Amino acid sequence: MSARYQVIHDTHYRYDSPVSLAQQLAHLWPRPCAWQRCTEQVLQISPTPTQRRDEWDVFGNPLTRLAFERQHEQLQVVARLQIEVLPRAEPQFSASPAWEQVRDALTYASQPLSGELLQACRYRFESPYVHLKQRFVAFSESCFAAGQPMLLGVQALMEKIFSEFTFDATATQVATPLVEVLERRRGVCQDFAHLMLACLRSRGLAARYVSGYLLTRPPPGQPRLVGADASHAWISVFCPTQGWVDFDPTNNLRPALEHITLAWGRDFSDVSPLRGVILGGGNHDPEVQVTVMPLDEYQV
């Protein structure tokens, strides 16, 4: 059984003062992966960019580069996708190797490295939003007993974050440092994903940040509201025997048919849906509306 969705991701900047020059990088097109099929994708941009180039970033994600060289007071970027998500094979958690074994396999040992391990190593170190610290090791201590099969340990970590942290959209901003998130025990999906990455990487494991969308359910008896959703983030961890396995610490579940993958990288900074540099502009809080709708509902 697969699931099909219509996704609309609308980002709208209304600048306080005119912007004379702007460059934007968009990670709004889904990367090709075995468990997803994109049947329609459109990017509407207003004003018309002076330049637009679609290419691949270094992590294999589609990347759209935009430049605006004429003065403008608003910027609107709307991504529309129709996408089908297919079921993925269930990994065998208890059959995964002990976490120390995985850590050691990722450690330098004066030996040639397989392509798969080399790829995994990209996601093992510090990145702009994920600093490695002893306190993340301490926080995850209870999840990774000696000899614990790695995926069971990761599962336990996800549960720990889910149960000990409160989702609070007002608690953090994009740049809130992780130690603060850890102290205040609240945050949003980006924070929880970053925190989980910090714990795993501080232990020498390889884990990446996944940016995407999640189907949300309206309260019982109420209709689905357009624009009520948000972009979502979770993580994926590398297991030498089972490949990359996804975990969603915000919802304490393994992404399956209701998670739509857009892009992955070391952290949010690699795959921010839309980021750029503008000249002028004054204040510029964007209005972001995301709608994820099962396709059958949408057509009705």
Partner 1 sequence: MPDLFDACPVSPGTYHEMLEGQGQVREHWQRVCAYLQRSGRAQLAQRQASLTRQLQENGVTYNVYADPKGADRPWELDLLPHLLPACEWQQLAAGVAQRARLLNAVLADIYGPQQLISEGLLPAELVYGHNNFLWPCQGISPPDGTFLHVYAVDLARAPDGRWWVTADRTQAPSGAGYALENRTIVSRALPELYRDLKVQHLAGFFRTLQQTLVHLAPGESDSPLVVVLTPGRFNESYFEHLYLARQLGYPLVEGCDLTVRDATVYLKTLSGLRRVHAIMRRLDDDFCDPLELRTDSALGVPGLLDAVRQGRVLVANALGSGVLESPGLLGFLPAINQRLFAEDLCLPSIATWWCGEPAVMARALEQLPQLLVKPAFPSQSFNAVFGRDLDKAGRQALAERIQARPYAYVAQELAQLSQAPVWQQEPGQLQSRAIGMRVYAVASAEGYRVLPGGLTRVAALADAEVVSMQRGGASKDTWVVADTAPSGEQWRTQHTLGVADLIRKDPYLPSRVVENLFWFGRYCERCDASARLLRIILTRYLDGDDPLALQAAVTLADELSLLPEEGTLPERVRAALADSDWAFSLRANLQRLQWAASQVRGKLSRENWQALVELQNESRSLENQTADFGEQVDVLNRLVMSMAALSGFALDDMTRDEGWRFLMIGRRIERLQSLCSSLAVYLRGPTVFDQAGLEWLLELGNSSITYRSRYLAVAQLIPVLDLLLLDEQNPHAVLFQLNLLVRAYGRLSKEFASSPEPALALLADQLKHFDLRSLEDSLFGAASVRAVLTGLADLLQSIATASGEISERLALRHFAHVDDVSQQTVSV
Total residues interacting with partner 1, rule: CB under 8 A? 55
In three-state form (DSSP H/G/I as H, E/B as E, the rest C), the secondary structure along 255-283 is CCCCEEEEEEECCHHHHCCEEEEEEECCC
Which residues fall within 8 angstroms of residue 133, CB to CB, at 6 or more apart? Answer: 179, 198, 202
Interior angle at CA 191, CA 83 and CA 93, nearest 5: 65
- At 254 the three-state DSSP class reads coil
Q: Does 20 sit near partner 1 (CB under 8 A)?
A: yes
In the list 1, 112, 217, 300, the residue contacting partner 1 (rule: CB under 8 A) is 112
Closest approach, Cβ 241 to partner 1, in A, equals 20
Binding positions for partner 1, 163-202, rule CB under 8 A: 174-175, 190, 202
Residue 216-255 contact track with partner 1, rule CB under 8 A, x = bound: --------------xx------------------------
Determine, following the binding rule CB under 8 A, whether residue 270 of this chain makes contact with partner 1. yes
Place of tokens 């030498």: 240
Q: Is 58 in the site for partner 1 (CB under 8 A)?
A: yes
| φ, ψ of residue 142 in degrees (nearest 5) | -65, -20
Alpha-carbon distance of 265 to 235, in angstroms, equals 10
34 is a site residue for partner 1 (CB under 8 A): no
CA 293 to chain centre: 19
* Binds partner 1 (CB under 8 A): choice among 30, 181, 273, 293: 273
* Torsion, Cα of 124, 189, 23, 14 (10° steps): -170
Nearest residue (CB) to partner 1, 95 versus 226: 226
Q: Is 45 in the site for partner 1 (CB under 8 A)?
A: no
Site for partner 1, rule CB under 8 A: 11, 13, 20-21, 23-25, 50-51, 57-59, 65, 67, 69, 107-113, 115, 118, 121-122, 124-126, 128, 132, 134, 137, 174-175, 190, 202, 230-231, 266, 269-270, 272-281, 284, 286, 288
